[in-house]
């Protein structure tokens, strides 16, 4: 088998926990991915909000290459100057005083959850360990983060769920108030529920949670794994609301594709996390930190976040037009910045498939939503291209599936009815910020 060929699911030696599309890429350039067969795909999924600076960003490449020639890994037995620098810059640009580095979103969330428990324990109240979370949330796939998300489909068969999470309906303030008890340690929420269907939490709700936390001595924890690092036009999504959390978890965009996660906290919230209480072999290693510093170089440069705000407004306007033109397919455009959800009236997977047939990559979410997560460097020409492809995909779906409730619209029926995708037109990246 050559590197260009991939085995069928039946012969693959990878644990079959994913339903993968039979498609592989050999390189990427900006907002474009080039498949092993040479086809160019417009990447509006960014590896699920990871490749925030697109593919092959010269600054990231240079940082990785330079560090690769120096030292890759030393362990946290020693000082890591690159990690100190990322931590300083994250703190200077946020509410936080301290940072713990790890390798993924779930690990960042684990650190956040442990920190809430340790905080109360250090305050002499170890019985306060419970965290209030919201229905439909997604916080990762470790046992604790699965319990925090509370989704049956992910918990089933894995034994008793980790104790200590109280779920309430999404954005139901009265339910939050009722759930607060003598054992409550914290409230945990995503500022925009990503996997749960791009459901935006109103700033007023976050403010109300902050007030409740202050009144009851709870910590406010935000999961910014998906919303963090520029995606909403602020470095962190909560910064558009004016509230300051006690702890946040970030990952995805921080490494622009290099695996890294981080838990940011005030020194007050982190008071229990003393030497030996937590750790990670790889967390904050020189390679990851050099790339994260390069990501910050780009994101903190004047004009970068302005670009995200401006281009996301343009995308939203164009999507509103598409929604009006294809009202039998798209019911709602929602989200913030470049974390956008299309709630659709056909099965979400059928629009993802139809867009892939148009050589455009998107990703489905809960609540029958298709997520658009372009890289933050996306330009106007690519927005125009995305809109044209979406227009064609919706036109096909409205031709073949006018009634979303008909049984024929379930499963793969719509895909089978799709004509072959348009070929030969592969406009490349023409415009990019940062």
Ligand X SMILES: Cc1ncc(COP(=O)(O)O)c(C=O)c1O
- Binding site residues, ligand X, CB under 6 A: 48, 104-106, 109, 138-140, 190, 194-195, 223, 225-226, 251
At closest approach, how far in Å is the CB of 74 from ligand X?
Answer: 23
* Residue, CB closest to ligand X: 105
Q: Give the DSSP letter of residue 256.
A: B
Residue number, 105 or 245, with CB nearest to ligand X: 105
**Neighbour tally for 15: CB within 10 Å:** 6
At closest approach, how far in Å is the CB of 267 from ligand X?
Answer: 24
Phi/psi of residue 34, each to 5°? Answer: -110, 120
At closest approach, how far in Å is the CB of 342 from ligand X?
Answer: 18
* Interhelix angle 286-299/304-325, nearest 10 degrees: 80
- Structure token digits, residue 361: 């990559």
Residue number, 116 or 409, with CB nearest to ligand X: 116
Radius of gyration, CA atoms only, the chain: 22
Residue number, 102 or 360, with CB nearest to ligand X: 102
- Structure token digits, residue 13: 């030696």
Residue number, 125 or 162, with CB nearest to ligand X: 162
At closest approach, how far in Å is the CB of 364 from ligand X?
Answer: 13
CA 140 to chain centroid, in Å, comes to 11
Q: Give the DSSP letter of residue 11.
A: T
Polymer length in residues for the chain? 434
Residue number, 48 or 179, with CB nearest to ligand X: 48
Q: Give the sheet arrangement for strand 98-102, strand by strand.
A: 98-102, 261-265, 247-250, 219-223, 184-189, 130-134, 165-168
Exposed, middle or buried: residue 238 (CB in 10 Å: 0-12, 13-18, 19+)?
buried
At closest approach, how far in Å is the CB of 225 from ligand X?
Answer: 4
Q: Is 183 helix (H, G, I), strand (E, B) or coil?
A: coil
Measured CA to CA, the distance from residue 87 to residue 261 in angstroms comes to: 12
Residue number, 366 or 404, with CB nearest to ligand X: 366
At closest approach, how far in Å is the CB of 263 from ligand X?
Answer: 12
Residue number, 186 or 354, with CB nearest to ligand X: 186
Residue number, 199 or 429, with CB nearest to ligand X: 199
Measured CA to CA, the distance from residue 417 to residue 33 in angstroms comes to: 26
At closest approach, how far in Å is the CB of 196 from ligand X?
Answer: 9
At closest approach, how far in Å is the CB of 148 from ligand X?
Answer: 9
Residue number, 45 or 104, with CB nearest to ligand X: 104
At closest approach, how far in Å is the CB of 124 from ligand X?
Answer: 31
Exposed, middle or buried: residue 268 (CB in 10 Å: 0-12, 13-18, 19+)?
exposed
Computed from CA positions of residues 57, 59, 61, 64, in that sequence, does the dihedral angle turn out positive or negative? negative
């Amino acid at each position: 088998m050559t590197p260009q060929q991939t085995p069928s699911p039946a012969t693959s030696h990878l644990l079959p926990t994913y339903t993968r599309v039979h498609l592989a890429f050999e390189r990427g350039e900006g907002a474009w991915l080039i498949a092993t067969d040479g086809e160019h795909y417009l990447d509006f999924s960014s590896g699920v909000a990871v490749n925030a600076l697109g593919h092959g960003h010269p600054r990231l490449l240079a940082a990785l290459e330079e560090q690769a020639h120096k030292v890759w890994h030393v362990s946290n037995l020693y000082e890591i100057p690159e990690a100190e620098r990322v931590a300083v810059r994250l703190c200077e640009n946020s509410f936080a005083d301290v940072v713990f580095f790890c390798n993924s979103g779930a690990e960042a969330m684990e650190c956040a959850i442990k920190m809430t428990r340790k905080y109360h324990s250090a305050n002499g109240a170890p019985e306060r360990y419970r965290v209030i979370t919201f229905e439909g949330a997604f916080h990762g796939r470790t046992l604790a983060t699965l319990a925090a998300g509370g989704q049956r489909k992910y918990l089933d068969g894995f034994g008793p769920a980790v104790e200590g999470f109280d779920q309430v309906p999404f954005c139901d303030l009265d339910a939050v108030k009722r759930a607060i008890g003598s054992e409550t340690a914290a409230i945990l929420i995503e500022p925009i529920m990503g996997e749960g269907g791009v459901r935006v939490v109103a700033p007023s709700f976050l403010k109300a949670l902050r007030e409740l936390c202050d009144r009851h001595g709870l910590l406010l924890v935000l999961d910014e794994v998906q919303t963090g690092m520029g995606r909403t036009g602020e470095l962190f999504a909560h910064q558009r609301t004016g509230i300051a959390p006690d702890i946040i978890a970030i990952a995805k965009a921080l490494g622009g594709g290099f695996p890294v996660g981080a838990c940011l906290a005030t020194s007050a919230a982190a008071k229990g996390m003393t030497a030996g209480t937590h750790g990670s072999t790889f967390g904050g290693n020189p390679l990851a930190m050099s790339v994260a510093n390069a990501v910050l170089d780009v994101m903190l440069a004047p004009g970068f976040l302005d670009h995200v705000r401006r281009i996301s407004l343009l995308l939203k306007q164009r999507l509103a037009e598409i929604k009006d033109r294809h009202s039998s397919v798209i019911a709602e455009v929602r989200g913030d910045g470049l974390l956008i959800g299309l709630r659709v009236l056909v099965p979400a997977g059928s629009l993802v498939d139809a867009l892939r047939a148009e050589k455009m990559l998107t990703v489905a979410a809960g609540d029958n939503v298709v997520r658009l997560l372009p890289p933050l460097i996306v330009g106007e020409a690519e927005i125009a291209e995305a809109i044209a492809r979406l227009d064609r995909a919706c036109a096909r779906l409205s031709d073949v599936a006018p009634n979303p409730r008909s049984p024929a619209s379930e499963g793969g029926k719509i895909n089978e009815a799709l004509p072959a995708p348009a070929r030969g037109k592969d406009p490349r990246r023409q415009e990019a910020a940062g």
